[in-house]
Amino acid sequence: MHTPTHAPVPHAVFSRARWATMWLFFMAGASYATWGVHIPTIRDKFGLSAGMLSMLMFAMAAGAIVVMKPVGRWVARQGSARAAWQAGLVYAAAIALLMLAPSFWLVTVFLVLFAIGNTGYDVAMNAQAATVEASAPRPVMAQFHGMFSLGGMVGASLGGVLITAGVPPLAHCLGMAALLLLTVVWSKPRMQEDHPVAPPSAAHQHVGKVLWLLGALAFLGLVAEGAMYDWTVIYLRDIALTPQYASFGYATFSAGMAIGRFGGDALRARFGMEKLLKLSGWAGFAGIALAIALPWPLTSLLGFTLMGLGCANLVPIFFLAASRLPGISPAEAIAGVARLAYVGLLLGPVLIGMVAEHSTLRWGMVVVAVAIGWIALDGARVLRKAQASG
């Protein structure tokens, strides 16, 4: 049973804030997908080699990691509603500028701006989600992240349709920037004010350690998730020997993520956060173990679907647990966890690639099994520590 951690608010206030936050998450996914579908556009425009394109992506990831901590403090000072609006303006401007860059170095600057705007927007909307959840009559955090997944799917699909129809990339980016701008302007007056931060006491002396433990779990979760995004297609093509179905690997994993997130709140209300985390970890482990043990087309696709279901609620749970720690604002706590998660997302595909280079991709996927298995074994203990700190 879900118990609000702060006094419930009137239903109309909760409903407005919930819908506003859902649209913030949807546009976050759609906006990021806009960059994803235009990676080839940027590559072709400047004639980039694979190495130069990798440098662009590394600059984005590094920019996000570096600014994460100060961004968390900034969101805490501004309040999540105001910060989401301000970061959304920067994010929208960066999207609009992407296709206007006249040189490789300027597009690098714009992508770092894109990363900074996205980071501020991401921390602010998750802090607002934690605020809404804290006074909600039922769990809502997972559905917000489900909207992010849905936004990514819609944004990527729309981008593909527009490219096929011959719509200029600049028009696409300007249109998405305008939609994002409208969303943050519409959402700002509908969001809730952040709750006061509970002061620390002698019983809360281990909060910093717990935050690091949650961050370590998020790191492992995003190692697994990042590897699935980058390596499922190649696994099906090279290991399962089914190139005609290779693209379905990413699709089945994403579908599992979306289903798991939209069903996650009901599961958390029924089983509680600890049990849901354990179930998620074991579902993911079973999925990747199935794909490794039986690398055939159908078993691999089933395994990737189970991995999606397993990974779906990891980030929502870790962010929510961090947001409830006393003596630190939800924004700073979420930023601390997200910083390590981003490192995992960056390093996960690299680790799998290094193992695959020296053995096979099948052995590389064992890294994913170890990461998700560790969460299944140890995640509930860390959550108990987090709840005891509060």
Task: Tell me the pLDDT of the chain averaged across its residues.
Answer: 91
Distance CA(15)–CA(377), nearest Å, equals 37
Tokens of 269: 């209300």
Q: Which residue has the higher pLDDT, 315 or 354?
A: 315
Query: Are residues 242 and 294 in contact, defined by beta-carbon separation less than 8 angstroms?
Result: no
Which domain covers residue 39, as residue numbers?
11-190
In a domain, 23, yes or no: yes
In a domain, 4, yes or no: no
Residues 296, 216 within the same domain: yes
Residues 161, 222 within the same domain: no
In a domain, 197, yes or no: no
Distance CA(314)–CA(9), nearest Å, equals 27
Residues 379, 238 within the same domain: yes
Residues 53, 183 within the same domain: yes
- Amino acid, single-letter form, for residue 142: A
Residues 155, 245 within the same domain: no
Tokens of 157: 């699909």
Give pLDDT, residue 8: 72
Structural domains counted in the chain: 2
Residues 267, 167 within the same domain: no
- Burial zone of 167 (CB within 10 Å; 0-12 exposed, 13-18 middle, 19+ buried): middle
What percent of the chain clears pLDDT 90, i.e. is strictly above it? 66
Residue 323 sits in a domain whose CATH number is: 1.20.1250.20
Q: Which residue has the higher pLDDT, 237 or 139?
A: 139
Examine the fold and report which residue of 127, 161, 190 is the final residue of a domain before the chain moves on.
190
CA distances 138 to 68, 198, 251, 272, Å, are 30, 22, 30, 12
Distance CA(110)–CA(45), nearest Å, equals 15
Residues 184, 220 within the same domain: no
Residues 180, 213 within the same domain: no
Q: Note the pLDDT tens digit of each residue in 60-116.
A: 888 899 999 999 999 999 999 999 999 999 999 999 999 999 999 999 999 999 999
Residue 253 in this model has a pLDDT that exceeds 50 = yes
Q: What is the DSSP letter of 67?
A: H
In a domain, 56, yes or no: yes
Q: How far is CA 48 from the centre of its chain?
A: 27
Distance CA(315)–CA(322), nearest Å, equals 10
In a domain, 335, yes or no: yes
Within 8 A by CB and 6+ apart from 30, the residues are: 151, 152, 154, 155, 158, 176, 179
Mean pLDDT on 238-263: 86
In a domain, 254, yes or no: yes
Tokens of 387: 């709840």
Angle of helix 169-187 versus helix 11-37 axis, rounded to 10? 160
In a domain, 281, yes or no: yes
Give pLDDT, residue 346: 82
Give pLDDT, residue 60: 85
Residues 281, 158 within the same domain: no
Give pLDDT, residue 5: 61
Examine the fold and report which residue of 146, 164, 190 is the final residue of a domain before the chain moves on.
190
Residues 299, 333 within the same domain: yes
229-235: Cβ within 8 A, 24+ apart: 229/253, 229/349, 230/348, 230/349, 230/352, 231/349, 231/352, 231/353, 231/361, 231/364, 231/365, 232/304, 234/361, 235/291, 235/295, 235/300, 235/361, 235/362, 235/365
Give pLDDT, residue 254: 86
Query: Are residues 187 and 21 in contact, defined by beta-carbon separation less than 8 angstroms?
Result: yes
Distance CA(30)–CA(177), nearest Å, equals 10
Query: Are residues 285 and 181 in contact, defined by beta-carbon separation less than 8 angstroms?
Result: no
Residues 357, 381 within the same domain: yes
Tokens of 191: 């969001």
Give pLDDT, residue 203: 47
Residues 131, 218 within the same domain: no
Instruction: Tell me how crowded residue 161 is: count the other CB atoms within 10 A of its CB.
Output: 11
Indicate the pTM of the whole model: 0.89
Residue 202 in this model has a pLDDT that exceeds 60 = no
Give pLDDT, residue 199: 66
Look up tokens 């930023």; give the residue.
335
Q: Note the pLDDT tens digit of each residue in 12-66.
A: 999 999 999 999 999 999 998 888 888 888 989 999 887 788 788 788 888 899 9
Distance CA(96)–CA(90), nearest Å, equals 10
Q: How far is CA 179 from the centre of its chain?
A: 21
Distance CA(195)–CA(197), nearest Å, equals 6
